[in-house]
């Protein structure tokens, strides 16, 4: 609680919205986790089984973006872990009611969520109750009170709670994404580094520039964004602290300074530097006092991404002609080659380190593929489009966010399990560049 109060105070310089509701949400999350042991459904084979759940329409909810039942249906469906549908199987499902589960079971539903939205004087109260049709268990009724404009966040909190209760997996539906939006005429473009809800709603501009901005990278605590700016007429890496609200230069060596990646412990910045004319990956200490070359090569070496345990770095090298993905093992400095044919770029670790999402040029075009980092190193395509770009994992590992260069004003997610592809609602005018999913939570959000 005190943490949230402190955060709310600290956030004021960056954000113009009141954050008192965070305290209430935190209270709800505590409440939710206390009931966690009551139900433990183990998914037999993650990736195949989707939990069937109906989300009844919430009396009192709004239309369009404020149709909270639909927000929850979409959240769950995008994750690939639920088969969610809108609408109640039977009128007997209501808050505090005694439902007839036979109707749900007849529809092959295991869970039914009901809810209600009540507009109070200055707060909006969202109440909800979950029913387990298989066991006949009725969960307690919970409620969240938010201010006007925060209803979608409340719905995402309910989705997180459902993920936690039903799967035992912490949901990532309240996490944030960052991206660059390029807008305006091409000869006079505006570049904005933005932060938005994971589904693209509520975008907020963090940095504006008339020169290109690319390659946003979240700090592990979610409180800073690193990015590459061409404001000095060459690529330089900056950090923007979201709590303090100011940019600072972190790498401005001669040549290119690009592809920032932060180690999980926050002590090192990996970046592609080209001081000697060829692009190589360096480890730069955050205090700026040390700079170590990861490997010696006259080829292009770029796009570093730290493994979640911090002991390996995936990167791209075109040492053998075209770009391929390698892993550099910090334990002994050895390198493992992961890809062999075609053109492979932009590796991004899953939160557990077991999978890399990356862009591979295949027979269809540029597509997002997922490859195991250990074992047989199997690789499967997650998309089947022409021009996919910039993959990054959701912090719960269920989804990959990416860009389709044929639809540049939209964001896309695809679930790792079942490849459920979602085009997020169009909320921006312009071209989205380098979307990146942030950590599950931060002091900032």
**Is residue 389 near another protein by the rule CB under 8 A?**
yes
Nearest to 382 by CA among 370, 399, 397, 374: 370
Nearest to 382 by CA among 145, 47, 55, 100: 47
Choice between 170 and 275, CB closer to another protein: 275
**Is residue 295 near another protein by the rule CB under 8 A?**
no
- Measured distance CA(371)–CA(434) in Å, rounded: 21
Nearest to 276 by CA among 261, 290, 296: 296
Least Å distance between CB 187 and another protein? 6
Strand partners, 305: 314
Choice between 147 and 275, CB closer to another protein: 275
Choice between 42 and 340, CB closer to another protein: 340
**Is residue 387 near another protein by the rule CB under 8 A?**
yes
Choice between 16 and 186, CB closer to another protein: 186
Q: Are 335 and 329 in contact (CB under 8 A)?
A: yes
Among 390, 392, 398, 413, binds another protein (CB under 8 A): 390
Choice between 31 and 320, CB closer to another protein: 320
Q: From residue 285, give the alpha-carbon distance in Å to each of 133, 173, 242.
A: 54, 32, 21
Least Å distance between CB 65 and another protein? 31
**Is residue 279 near another protein by the rule CB under 8 A?**
yes
Q: Is 110 left (phi over 0), alpha (psi -120 to 50) or beta?
A: alpha
Binding segment for another protein (CB under 8 A), chosen from 95-103, 286-294, 359-367, 437-445, is 359-367
String marking each residue 86-125 x if it binds another protein according to CB under 8 A = ----------------------------------------
- List the interface residues with another protein, window 308-327 (CB under 8 A): 316, 318, 322-323
Q: Are 317 and 323 in contact (CB under 8 A)?
A: yes
Choice between 99 and 235, CB closer to another protein: 235
The H or E element containing residue 291 is strand 291-293
- List the interface residues with another protein, window 196-235 (CB under 8 A): 212, 214-215, 228, 230, 233-235
**Is residue 300 near another protein by the rule CB under 8 A?**
yes
Q: Are 289 and 333 in contact (CB under 8 A)?
A: no
**Is residue 367 near another protein by the rule CB under 8 A?**
no
Binding segment for another protein (CB under 8 A), chosen from 15-23, 132-140, 161-169, 296-304, is 296-304
E strand intervals along 82-153: 82-86, 111-119, 124-132, 137-138, 142-146
**Is residue 442 near another protein by the rule CB under 8 A?**
no
String marking each residue 10-49 x if it binds another protein according to CB under 8 A = ----------------------------------------
Q: Are 230 and 216 in contact (CB under 8 A)?
A: no
- Measured distance CA(436)–CA(11) in Å, rounded: 21
Query: Strand order of the sheet with strand 379-381?
Result: 344-349, 355-361, 366-372, 379-381
Which tokens go with 413?
Answer: 């997610």
Choice between 38 and 342, CB closer to another protein: 342
**Is residue 366 near another protein by the rule CB under 8 A?**
yes
Choice between 359 and 399, CB closer to another protein: 359
Strand partners, 213: 229
Choice between 346 and 413, CB closer to another protein: 346
Nearest to 286 by CA among 256, 317, 264, 318: 264
**Is residue 274 near another protein by the rule CB under 8 A?**
yes
Which tokens go with 322?
Answer: 């075209």
Least Å distance between CB 443 and another protein? 28
Among 434, 437, 442, 445, binds another protein (CB under 8 A): 434
**Is residue 388 near another protein by the rule CB under 8 A?**
no
Dihedral sign computed on CA atoms, order 423, 428, 434, 436: negative
- Measured distance CA(212)–CA(118) in Å, rounded: 45
Backbone phi and psi for residue 92, each to the nearest 5 degrees, phi listed first: -70, -15
Q: Are 399 and 411 in contact (CB under 8 A)?
A: no
Residues in the chain: 445
Among 255, 310, 381, 430, binds another protein (CB under 8 A): 255
Binding segment for another protein (CB under 8 A), chosen from 9-17, 140-148, 165-173, 256-264, is 256-264
If you count DSSP H runs as helices and E runs as strands, how many of each does the chain have, helices first? 5, 30
**Is residue 286 near another protein by the rule CB under 8 A?**
no
| Cα-trace Rg, the chain | 23
**Is residue 259 near another protein by the rule CB under 8 A?**
yes
Least Å distance between CB 258 and another protein? 5
> What is the secondary structure of 349-378 as a DSSP string?
E-TTSSEEEEEEE-SSSEEEEEEESSTT--
Q: Which residues bind another protein (CB under 8 A)?
A: 186-187, 212, 214-215, 228, 230, 233-235, 255-256, 258-259, 272, 274, 277-279, 300, 302-303, 316, 318, 322-323, 343, 345-346, 359, 361, 366, 387, 389-390, 405-406, 433-434
């Amino acid at each position: 609680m005190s943490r949230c109060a402190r955060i709310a105070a600290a956030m004021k310089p960056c954000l113009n919205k009141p954050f008192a509701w965070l305290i209430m949400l935190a209270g709800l999350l505590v409440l939710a986790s206390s009931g966690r042991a009551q139900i433990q459904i183990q998914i037999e084979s993650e990736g195949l089984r989707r939990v069937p759940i109906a989300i009844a329409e919430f009396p009192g909810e709004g239309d369009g973006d404020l149709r909270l039942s639909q927000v929850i249906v979409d959240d769950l469906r995008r994750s690939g872990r639920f088969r969610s549908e809108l609408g109640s199987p039977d009128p007997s499902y209501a808050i505090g009611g005694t439902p007839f589960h036979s109707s749900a079971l007849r529809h092959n539903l295991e869970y039914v969520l009901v809810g209600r939205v009540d507009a109070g004087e200055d707060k909006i109260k969202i109440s909800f109750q979950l029913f387990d049709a298989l066991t006949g268990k009725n969960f307690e009724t919970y409620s969240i009170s938010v201010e006007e404009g925060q209803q979608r966040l409340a719905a995402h909190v309910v989705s997180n709670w459902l993920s936690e209760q039903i799967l035992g997996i912490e949901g990532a539906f309240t996490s944030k994404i960052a991206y660059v939006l390029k807008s305006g005429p091409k000869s006079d473009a505006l570049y904005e580094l933005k932060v938005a809800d994971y589904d693209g709603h509520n975008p907020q501009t963090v940095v504006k520039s008339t020169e290109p901005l690319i390659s946003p990278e979240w700090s592990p605590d979610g409180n800073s964004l690193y990015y590459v700016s061409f404001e000095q007429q060459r690529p330089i890496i900056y950090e923007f602290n979201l709590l303090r609200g100011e940019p600072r230069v972190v790498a401005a060596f001669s040549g290119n300074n690009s592809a920032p990646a932060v180690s999980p412990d926050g002590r090192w910045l990996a970046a592609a530097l080209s001081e000697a004319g060829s692009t190589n990956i360096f480890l730069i200490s955050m205090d700026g006092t040390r700079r170590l070359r990861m490997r010696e090569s006259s080829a292009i070496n770029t796009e570093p991404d730290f493994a979640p345990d911090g002991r390996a770095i995936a990167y791209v090298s075109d040492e053998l002609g075209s770009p391929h993905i390698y892993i550099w093992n910090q334990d002994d400095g050895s390198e493992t080659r992961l890809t062999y044919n075609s053109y492979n770029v932009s590796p991004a670790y899953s939160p557990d380190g077991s999978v890399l999402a990356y862009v591979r040029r295949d027979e269809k075009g540029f597509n997002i593929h997922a490859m195991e980092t250990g074992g047989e190193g199997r690789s499967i395509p997650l998309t089947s489009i022409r021009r996919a770009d910039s993959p990054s994992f959701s912090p719960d590992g269920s989804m990959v966010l990416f860009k389709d260069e044929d639809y540049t004003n939209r964001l896309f997610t695809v679930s790792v399990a079942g490849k459920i592809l979602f085009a997020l609602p169009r909320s921006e005018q312009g071209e989205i560049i380098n979307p990146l999913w942030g950590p599950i939570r931060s002091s900032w959000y």
